[in-house]
Amino acid sequence: MYHSMARKLLKSMLLCGILSAAAFAPAAARAAELLMFERDGCVWCARWDREIGPIYPKTDEARLLPLRRINIDRDKAADLGLASPVRFTPTFVVIDKGREVGRITGYINDDAFWGLLGILVAKIAPSPHPNHTERGLAQRKAS
């Protein structure tokens, strides 16, 4: 019961931040992006592709943080503003205004991903409004 309530609260906080960011920070939305570091044969990258990949482009998160994929074995990334090298895949790094805001190393499941991404979104988005709750989550689940 407590796990379910905590998950709903976390999702509500995530959605509030995203909706606020979309409404009040259009310039920040253009400056920020989500980098996904991956490699061929990564089973966790493939799982993310199945569970999140089709949904992500349709979300408020994608409008705020467009996804850019980087294969660490093939792509020689220029200076991306990373705080430290990426060694594990998948690793998701939020970049805003040329600097790393934070990262998610690994992928466990969709709930963990959205929750951790929400924490990173909150670092670049204005403070959330309490009246925005489950609307964005329902949008993702319906897709």
Tokens (6 digits) for 138 = 């329902």
Measured between alpha carbons, how far is 137 from 25 in angstroms, rounded to an integer? 20
What's the distance, Cα to Cα, between the start and end of the chain in Å? Answer: 26
To the nearest 5 percent, what fractions of the chain are helix, strand and coil?
50, 15, 35
The verdict on pTM exceeding 0.85 is: no
pLDDT at 121 over 50: yes
Architecture of domain 2-142: 3-Layer(aba) Sandwich (3.40)
Mean pLDDT over all residues of the chain?
Answer: 77
Nearest C-alpha neighbor of 35 from the set 95, 75, 97? 95
Q: How remote is the C-alpha of 22 from its chain's centroid? A: 14
Q: Give residue-wise pLDDT tens across range 73-117.
A: 887 766 777 888 889 999 999 999 989 999 999 999 999 999 999
**Local confidence band at 141 (pLDDT 50, 70, 90 cut-offs):** low
Place of tokens 């253009």: 30
Q: How many CB atoms lie within 10 A of CB 74?
A: 8
Q: Give residue-wise pLDDT tens across range 39-74.
A: 999 999 999 999 999 999 999 999 999 999 999 988
Q: Where are the domains of the chain?
A: 2-142
Strands 32-38 and 67-71: parallel
Q: Give residue-wise pLDDT tens across range 21-44.
A: 444 444 333 479 999 999 999 999
Report the sign of the C-alpha dihedral through residues 40, 35, 136, 10, in that order.
positive
